[in-house]
Structure 1
Amino acid sequence: MVNEHDLELSDATDGYVLETLDDPATSEGNRLLSPGEHDGWIEHDGSSLGGNPLTSAYGDSAREGLPTRQKWRVFLIANGLAALVHGYGVTCASNIEGPIHKDFRSINLLPLVGLTYAVVAAACIPLACQLVKICDLKVLYLISLVIMAVGCILAGTARKIDCVLGGRAIMAVGGSVLYHAMSINTIYAQPNELVFAQAWLGAVFTIGLAGGPLIGGAIADSPHTWRWAFYIVLPLLGIALILFVIVLPRHRVQTNKPALTWFRELDWLGNWLHVGTFLLFTVACVSSGPSWEWNSHSAVGVWVAFAIMVLAYTGQQAVNLGIANEGRIFPWSLLRSRTVFLTWVCTFCAAGACSIVLYYTPIYFVLMRVHSRLDATSRLIPFICAFVVSTLLTGGLIGYIRAYRLAFMVGAALLALGSGLLHGITPDTTDHAIRAYEAFIGAGIGTIWHLATPVCALILPAERHLDQAALQSIAQFGGIVAARSAAAVIYHDIGARLLKEAVADAAYSDEDIRELLSGIRSTILTETNPDTVVLVFEIIVEATARCFSVLVIAGVVCFVAACCMKAEELDFWDARKKLAAPPPGDRRNQSLPI
């Protein structure tokens, strides 16, 4: 039987909330608040948590007794809009690289246009996690939305490619903090609701992620400027801002110190080392080969700098240099959990596979099938549909299946199967076959994409939920960065070497070859004799297939990790699995339905 003195309970019928005023061990300080006294979302700072930073004064769930069902739904809709824009920001520039290159003619920086958002988002995740812990979440939400809007405007009004990169970076900073702040779902949702909430966020983030190339392709082929790819999200950000102002409660996770004190005590050295590691890795992968020869001083220097940065970052976190053990920005201790580590690996692999399919498949169709950008990107629709449907199905069915290991294994198997088939493409492979392979991959990725969060929420103490959310964000965006960077090395290195040999007799520059590999229809395809064009097509298929080898690796690693998980079942529907069930007919302890 739940001790009602330990929890602040909501009567869903009468609208009364039991407030604990004095010693929770007695009943003398308890009184019922009338509906008028707790209308809507009650603001709180969690000061009565008794040492648990994630459990509010309202008991096991900070949302219990706080919102009406309508406001909870509006809150989820606003979160969905924000997640949609964040996902769109990752990929929206991938299909407008051609028009951007036409305006600015900067082939060396062009690969960074599509990568900048994911790199900066991954680099900012640890800091975002710390800000979520110390700042008022409502204020953080609103400021993040404004930052994203500023980045969109800067990228859209850019007069040189550096401003496009800067605008994309600013968007990513706001998006990273905003997306991590959405881990507030672990505070306001019961475990059974968390499954749905994470599936919802995963689905809309996926739609944004997959819709970026579609919208970018449509804009690239239209008479409108590529700048609308950035302007188009401003109304969505405005709507989300208004909704959050209306329904989002005030909440601070950490309350035993002032926010300014927490801010001064942040692990700033660790944050800068984390940022430097991601930036140097991306620059090293993108520039080595296309911009710098592998044995050049620049290429060697940046790889050495990256190695030093990794060692410094690892050492600083290992010995807690300048910080207390609990102040480390990366929650290393969570990876000691077998379930957390293996679900992290699966999420990392799924995110990497997703980024490769979304970026390189349209390039393949543009060059091999002579499609427009929009036509080429429309070939991703089977992938997108399978991704979204499998994400929602997993979120809806995992509560009944309960065996999360089985879900991960099915998703990983589909990913590995589709990756192996896509890796084996030839110039004679039909469009229908490729789209079928994409659907297998999309179904596998969607099954895995957001499953780790509700699984880990049930096995970890509440105070570690935000750290686990940071781990999953790093897995998603780190996977995107790592896979795209590794694939770029393989694709451009092999493609450039073979193309130079194929057109050695013609006076084509390195820039012409790089334009072709970037999906920009180069003069190589129009001015070269037909026999050479056929050879060029074969080279493109070879380079793309080699690039898809990263997909195969991701699928195999993901499946092995899934097989190594515990063969256990989790009760996702029991919102109070650690407490006794309430008596029949007593609905005060039950969470509000969605």
Structure 2
Amino acid sequence: MSAAVPDEKTPNVAAESSCSSTACTTPDNEKQEAPGDEPEAPPRDISGWKWWLVMASILSSIFFYALDNTVVADIQPVIIGDLGELEKLTWLSVAFLLGATATNLIWGKVYSQFNAKWTYILNIAVFEIGSAVCGAAPSMNVMIVGRALCGVAGAGLYVGVMTLIAMTTSLPERPLYVGGTGLTWGIGIVLGPVVGGGFSESSVGWRWAFYINLLIGALCAPVYLFLLPSKDPRRGVALKERSREVDIVGAALQMAALTTFILAISWGGVVFPWNSGQVIGLFVASGVLSIVLGFQQVFLVFTTIECRIIPVEFFGSRTVLVLFASTAAAGASAFVPIYMIPLYFQFTRGDAALDAGVRLLPFIILMVATILTNGALLSKFGYYMPWYTAGGLLALTGGALMYTVDLNTSTSRIYGYTVILGLGVGLWIQASFAVAQAVVEPKYVPAAVGFITLAQFAGITIVMAIANTIFLNECLTTIPRILPNVPREEIEAAIQGTSDLLDRLSSDVRTRVLEAIVSGISKSYALVIAAGALVAVLSFLMKHERLFNVSAAVGAA
């Protein structure tokens, strides 16, 4: 990377003087197409059926990564029944999200240094190993290791897909392909609970919820090896020299700072009290590590401007920072309903894991359809700011409606609320990947992909930890008052679906307990309300500009 991005207050005349016949650089170093640009040819050496086969194969990796995000949502009780160690239950999700979030920026840097094809294939291989470890796990500790491997490699393949799309598509067609990642992501997310629940209720058992990834990977392996274009960002530079340019110290500090912070918010109020020494110590450690990281990155300690792990250049760009915050809010807006909707129906309607997963379909179908629409229209018209405004307002509305849901709310009404929410989230959840690549210089594209991916996973991880805390705190505050003679451990087990406590209660008492549980679920939607409001407000800080060279043909192969 080169020098830091100039401040946005740089006079416009300076930007105008730097324009060439093809493009110019805005005051904050964001690219804008000059008038009269010719359509850009796709930068790839394959076309036709080979190209579409490559796209289908790399998008399939997004599918099984998304599947792995939610596959454990409905099979946790079955896993605990086989492996035991209930106290480690939260690690099934925390290990995965922690591995993904902590390594995003590192993968962005790695893809900017090494051959994208082989780095991507390496991540596929590690992800498959992690899936095999999960499927064969004889204990919870082994399962947690497998989940962490899947999280780390999953982040790498996700950044890899975005990087490969950036390297093999022209700017005008790129939003459509990025929209394709949203389609496969959405399908994988909704099928995760369904696949997990289906396998857990079948004769083959829950372990095939992880083994299925091995089959998908094996089917796509020939395409990865023989058809995937090889894109080397630093052709001719020795591997040893490239390795030296990876900011190892910054990467270690960044991972440690994120890990301690995520553990603090995941454990606070759930494993340990918020005022416990463990949680306070983790927050303090995260703060200290973040300060040290900032010092190391700004003053270039054991690193250089070109090598540092944090894309400090982006902090001078209002647009990139707004995209980061909006993408984090999108992850929050999508994953609260993805986890809470099945939970609601399992408790209130007695749904099995498979049926509860199907309840997500109205939300996911609308979200995926809107993602595809966004990708197509963003390519055609180029304006991006209105999508964030409308999406934020609709997400706010849907979140507010879900906040009002109680034990007696009809199923049709809930479906209607989730349709509004899915419509809103789909308007912007994937858009930032295309927009960020369009507003930065080409040399910053891998870093931009990693930066926006970090926003998405950080938003998901942090908000899900907070939502889980809201839910459990509400339940563990109210239910013990209703059941004063029941041990806290049994109440926790009932909430997590590993106890038959609810079935043993009288009808009246059971209703009161369910009302407390539903209250905890509904209150978690306060996070969606806040996220939607944030995006709507931030959208007014975006530029009213057209991107993607809209005169070019879309989807040329």
Give deviations 1:261-290, integer Å, cap 9, x for gaps: 221332112111222223222322222223
What residue number does 2:506 align with?
529
In 2, Cα distance between the equivalents of 1:426 and 1:64? Answer: 53
Per the TM alignment, residue 466 of structure 1 is displaced from its structure 2 partner at its CA by 1.2
Which of the numbers 406, 411, 415 marks the counterpart of 2:391? Answer: 411
- The 5 Å alignment of 1:347-426 reads 347-426=327-406
Whether 1:138 aligns to 2:117 is yes
Per the TM alignment, residue 120 of structure 1 is displaced from its structure 2 partner at its CA by 0.8
Whether 1:494 aligns to 2:494 is no
Per the TM alignment, residue 145 of structure 1 is displaced from its structure 2 partner at its CA by 1.3
In 2, Cα distance between the equivalents of 1:214 and 1:238? Answer: 22
Question: What amino acid maps onto 1:562 in structure 2?
Answer: S
In 2, Cα distance between the equivalents of 1:319 and 1:490? Answer: 39
What residue number does 1:25 align with?
none
Whether 1:224 aligns to 2:204 is yes
Per the TM alignment, residue 330 of structure 1 is displaced from its structure 2 partner at its CA by 1.6
Tell whether the 8 Å contact from 2:42 to 2:556 is kept in structure 1 after alignment.
Answer: no
Per the TM alignment, residue 62 of structure 1 is displaced from its structure 2 partner at its CA by 8.8
In 2, Cα distance between the equivalents of 1:521 and 1:440? Answer: 33
In 2, Cα distance between the equivalents of 1:400 and 1:61? Answer: 14
- The 5 Å alignment of 1:85-124 reads 85-124=64-103
In 2, Cα distance between the equivalents of 1:327 and 1:61? Answer: 30
Which of the numbers 94, 102, 108 marks the counterpart of 1:129? Answer: 108
In 1, Cα distance between the equivalents of 2:382 and 2:247? Answer: 38
In 2, Cα distance between the equivalents of 1:365 and 1:439? Answer: 16
Q: How many residues align?
A: 519
Distance 1:521-1:330 versus aligned 2 partners, 3 A rule:
same
Distance 1:516-1:591 versus aligned 2 partners, 3 A rule:
closer
What residue number does 1:441 align with?
421
Whether 1:541 aligns to 2:504 is no
Distance 1:324-1:213 versus aligned 2 partners, 3 A rule:
same
Give deviations 1:211-251, integer Å, cap 9, x for gaps: 21221122233343211110011111112221111212222
Which of the numbers 204, 207, 211 marks the counterpart of 2:184? Answer: 204
Tell whether the 8 Å contact from 2:134 to 2:142 is kept in structure 1 after alignment.
Answer: yes
Give deviations 1:292-326, integer Å, cap 9, x for gaps: 23333323323322332233333322332211122
Per the TM alignment, residue 160 of structure 1 is displaced from its structure 2 partner at its CA by 0.6
In 2, Cα distance between the equivalents of 1:561 and 1:307? Answer: 26
Question: What amino acid maps onto 1:532 in structure 2?
Answer: V
Distance 1:455-1:98 versus aligned 2 partners, 3 A rule:
same
Tell whether the 8 Å contact from 1:419 to 1:441 is kept in structure 2 after alignment.
Answer: yes
Question: What amino acid maps onto 2:107 in structure 1?
Answer: A
Tell whether the 8 Å contact from 1:285 to 1:486 is kept in structure 2 after alignment.
Answer: yes
Per the TM alignment, residue 394 of structure 1 is displaced from its structure 2 partner at its CA by 0.9
What residue number does 2:314 align with?
334
Could you tell me which runs of 5 or more consecutive residues in structure 2 were left unpaired when the two chains were aligned.
1-37
Which of the numbers 536, 548, 551 marks the counterpart of 1:559? Answer: 536
In 2, Cα distance between the equivalents of 1:175 and 1:91? Answer: 13
Whether 1:300 aligns to 2:263 is no
Tell whether the 8 Å contact from 1:285 to 1:488 is kept in structure 2 after alignment.
Answer: no
Tell whether the 8 Å contact from 1:490 to 1:547 is kept in structure 2 after alignment.
Answer: yes
In 2, Cα distance between the equivalents of 1:125 and 1:79? Answer: 18
Whether 1:277 aligns to 2:257 is yes
Which of the numbers 456, 464, 480 marks the counterpart of 2:436? Answer: 456
Distance 1:337-1:374 versus aligned 2 partners, 3 A rule:
same
Give deviations 1:314-349, integer Å, cap 9, x for gaps: 332233221112222121321322222212221110
Aligned-pair identity (%): 23
What residue number does 2:487 align with?
509
Which of the numbers 223, 226, 241 marks the counterpart of 1:243? Answer: 223
In 1, Cα distance between the equivalents of 2:368 and 2:61? Answer: 17
Question: What amino acid maps onto 2:306 in structure 1?
Answer: E
Which of the numbers 238, 247, 254 marks the counterpart of 1:267? Answer: 247
Give deviations 1:118-154, integer Å, cap 9, x for gaps: 2211111122112212222222122211111111110
Per the TM alignment, residue 422 of structure 1 is displaced from its structure 2 partner at its CA by 0.5
Q: Which is further off, 234-243 or 451-460?
A: 451-460
In 1, Cα distance between the equivalents of 2:64 and 2:50? Answer: 21
TM-score (norm 2): 0.89
Which of the numbers 514, 529, 547 marks the counterpart of 1:570? Answer: 547
Per the TM alignment, residue 63 of structure 1 is displaced from its structure 2 partner at its CA by 4.9
Per the TM alignment, residue 592 of structure 1 is displaced from its structure 2 partner at its CA by 7.8
Distance 1:404-1:411 versus aligned 2 partners, 3 A rule:
same
Q: Per the alignment, in what secondary structure is the counterpart of residue 224 of structure 1?
A: coil
In 1, Cα distance between the equivalents of 2:274 and 2:399? Answer: 29
Q: CA RMSD in A?
A: 2.1
Distance 1:509-1:320 versus aligned 2 partners, 3 A rule:
farther
Distance 1:172-1:294 versus aligned 2 partners, 3 A rule:
closer
Per the TM alignment, residue 65 of structure 1 is displaced from its structure 2 partner at its CA by 6.2
Distance 1:309-1:492 versus aligned 2 partners, 3 A rule:
farther
Question: What amino acid maps onto 2:187 in structure 1?
Answer: I
Q: Per the alignment, in what secondary structure is the counterpart of residue 191 of structure 1?
A: coil
Question: What amino acid maps onto 2:58 in structure 1?
Answer: N
Q: Per the alignment, in what secondary structure is the counterpart of residue 346 of structure 2?
A: helix
Tell whether the 8 Å contact from 2:332 to 2:531 is kept in structure 1 after alignment.
Answer: yes
Could you tell me which runs of 5 or more consecutive residues in structure 1 were left unpaired when the two chains were aligned.
1-58, 576-589
Tell whether the 8 Å contact from 1:191 to 1:458 is kept in structure 2 after alignment.
Answer: yes
Q: Which is further off, 541-550 or 308-317?
A: 308-317
Per the TM alignment, residue 591 of structure 1 is displaced from its structure 2 partner at its CA by 9.1
Per the TM alignment, residue 521 of structure 1 is displaced from its structure 2 partner at its CA by 5.6
Q: Per the alignment, in what secondary structure is the counterpart of residue 231 of structure 1?
A: helix
| Structure with more contact order per residue of length (Cα contacts < 8 Å, sep ≥ 6) | 2
Per the TM alignment, residue 184 of structure 1 is displaced from its structure 2 partner at its CA by 1.9
Q: Per the alignment, in what secondary structure is the counterpart of residue 90 of structure 2?
A: helix
